[in-house]
Amino acid sequence: MEIMVSRSSITTTGNNTGAWRFVRPVYERHTAPCSAACPAGEDIPRIEALVSEKKFKEAGEVILMENPFPSVCGRVCFHPCETACNRAGFDDAVAVNSLERFVGDLLDTSDGSLPFEAKEKNGKRIAIIGAGPGGLSAAYFLSRLGYSCEVFESEEKPGGLLRWGIPAYRLPEQVLDREIKRIESLGVKINCSTRLDSSFIETANESFDGVFVGTGLGSPIMMNIPGEELGIGWEVFLKEVKKGTQKEFKGKAVVIGGGNAAVDVARTLVRLGASVTIAYRRRIEDMPAFGSEIEIAISEGVEILELVAPVAIVQNAEQLSIELQSMKVEGQDGQRAKVVNDGDKKKSIVADRVYSAIGADVEDEWKGAKTVSRPGNRSALYNEKIPVIYGGDLVNADKSVTSAIGSGKEAAIMFDILLAEGGSKAGDEEAVKKTTAACQVGDGQSLSFEAYIGGERRNVVEGVVKFEDINLNYFEKTALKDKNSMKADLNGFDEVESGIDEVSAIYEAVRCFNCGICTDCGICSLFCPELSVLTGNEGRRIELEYCKGCGICVCECPRAAMSLVKEAE
């Protein structure tokens, strides 16, 4: 007789085990600390994910979404992203700045085309005063929103501080020209050698719907010491070198100041052949200039005299004598040492030229503009009918190129809210606050253009990914291998930093934790006991028919791209 055995005839797929669930895993974008720290609000983890997949062009397009100046920023940005990088708590921060330069330099703009289509022209016109990073950024983003922009620049070429204030060995002019050309290809009209004063605003409404003011800091800060007129202002000097009217100087120079301008002047002088001393009233570690720049200056032979304050400049036959008061440290003044006169100890040094580089201030013309530091707080003033928005160094608490770029973007978004058809009336700050809050990158100071125009980043949830949120089991310690590095070249103004090559770029991008974004690594699916993580054209998703809500996927996700949410009662 046949042996009778009971046999299964159906599978378990008919069981709705999803009904067991009381929490549900969701894919959620969280903000990476680098993005939150970026004054231009770039989507850095996405950029690095694309570079790691060798998709350099796509990575460049992701930068261009938020920043028209990748090649410039890849050279001159003070990269707070790297300071904020979660990877720094593991081995070394990812070389984000070097990667930005690598990606930016590969972007082909020869045909002037952009990776995205600008909106149809809306017939509204914005006047932009100042073709610096803030004004050009405002023009870039406004053009993409459909506005016609006209930029007015007092100098003969656009770029502002980027062209006249940053020496060519840090930022070659052709790099700047290339990125400005990309902005012009959007239809932005730049009128050079056209200085506008503040009275322009009074009548601007006759031909414009809004005005952006990004005139920067045009007025050098005075030392208020006898003989000051014997010194040379840093901005005058750097501009002369750029224009080619200063080619050589073999004498001895003293630079007074401790900021980036002082270091730029010193390093420029080294290239002209001078022997250079920086005189600073506090200590080297208190200098506001970027630490890396100071180190490079010292390596290039610049001498730094600490704890001396100039009290007078005296003509001494053919030379100048700088009288210096010795200072001493007495307590702290915020981040820096507080210094006071060290009795009446004095010294004096002799030089052929003295340069004053203690900073710059707002020209009297624009003194009305108020300093701003948070998104949505940017002051929009009204001239009866049209909004006037200030940006860049003129009003930013944080005086940096990338912050200026961020402020231009923020202004563009604000114009669009204020000028929207049937939109907010003049003075309706609530509408601006509400919309800008929705576009804010994490808890940072920048806005996302992608979020504003309704892109993916709109869906980012609140909060910033912390180091503890990263599942370190999926990463191996691999120290930083390569970043933009110095070439010892003091002859002339060739760029002194070289970028990284493709192999290093990919290596570096692979190191990125990609905090808060799904990179389709598959860990969630690997450890799903319910086989409920599915892959589709639009990324990963959870099959809720079976998911029991165990949460392993969320716990194991290497990069905090998932969360558990309560099921509705």
Partner 1 sequence: MQQTAIPKKVKYDSEYGSTDLLNPGHVGCPGCGAVLAMKFALHALGPDTMLVIPACCWAVIAGPHPQTSLNIPVLHTAFETAGAAASGLRAALDMKGDTKTTVVAWAGDGGTFDIGFQALSGAAERNEDFIYVCYDNEAYMNTGNQRSSSTPYRTRTTTTPGSGKVQRKKNIVEALAAHRIPYAATASISHPEDLIRKFKKAKDMKGGTRFIHIFATCPTGWRCPSEMSVEVARLAVKTNFFPLYEVEKGVKYIINAEGELPVEEYLMTQGRFKHLGDTEIQRVQAMVDDDFAFLKKKTLL
Q: How far is it, in rounded angstroms, from Cα 319 to Cα 481? A: 48
Binding to partner 1 by CB under 8 A, coded x per residue (else -) over 45-84, reads -------xx-------------------------------
- The reply to whether 19 sits near partner 1 by the rule CB under 8 A is no
How far is C-alpha 38 from the geometric centre of its chain's CA atoms? 5
DSSP 300: T
Distance CA(283)–CA(265), nearest Å, equals: 19
Q: Which of 42, 392, 532, 559 binds partner 1 (CB under 8 A)?
A: 532
503-522 residues in contact with partner 1 (CB under 8 A) are 503-504, 506-507, 510-511, 519-522
Shortest Cβ 388–partner 1 spacing (Å): 49
As a whole number of angstroms, the distance between CA 378 and CA 370 comes to 9
Ordered alpha helix ranges (H), 204-290? 234-243, 260-272
**Residue 325 vs 519, nearer CB to partner 1:** 519
The single residue among 478, 495, 497, 498 that binds partner 1, judged by CB under 8 A, is 478
- What backbone torsions phi and psi does residue 50 show, to the nearest 5 degrees? -70, -40
Determine if 90 is a binding residue for partner 1 (CB under 8 A).
Answer: no
Partners of 33 in the beta sheet? none
DSSP 302: -
Contact partners, residue 145, CB within 8 Å, separation at least 6: 118, 119, 122, 412, 415, 416, 453
By CB under 8 A, tell whether 14 contacts partner 1. yes
Residue 137 binding partner 1, by CB under 8 A:
no
- Closest separation between CB of residue 527 and partner 1, Å? 5
Binding status of residue 485 toward partner 1 by CB under 8 A: no
Which phi and psi (to 5°) does residue 135 adopt?
-65, -45
Q: Is residue 548 a contact residue for partner 1 (CB under 8 A)? A: yes
Reported as type and span, the H/E element at residue 354 is strand 353-356
Q: How far is the CB of 467 from partner 1 (least distance, A)?
A: 17
Q: Which residue is listed with tokens 């060519």?
A: 168
Whole-number minimum distance, CB 510 to partner 1, in Å?
5
Is residue 529 a contact residue for partner 1 (CB under 8 A)? yes
Asked whether 94 and 88 are in contact (CB, 8 A), the reply is no
Can you tell me which of 437, 472, 526, 565 binds partner 1, judged by CB under 8 A? 526
**537 interacts with partner 1 by CB under 8 A:** no
Structure tokens given for 194 = 């056209």
| 531 is a site residue for partner 1 (CB under 8 A) | yes
Closer to partner 1 at the Cβ: 20 or 116? 20
Rule CB under 8 A: which residues touch partner 1? 6-17, 20-21, 52-53, 473, 476, 478, 481, 501, 503-504, 506-507, 510-511, 519-527, 529-533, 543, 545-546, 548-552, 554-556, 564
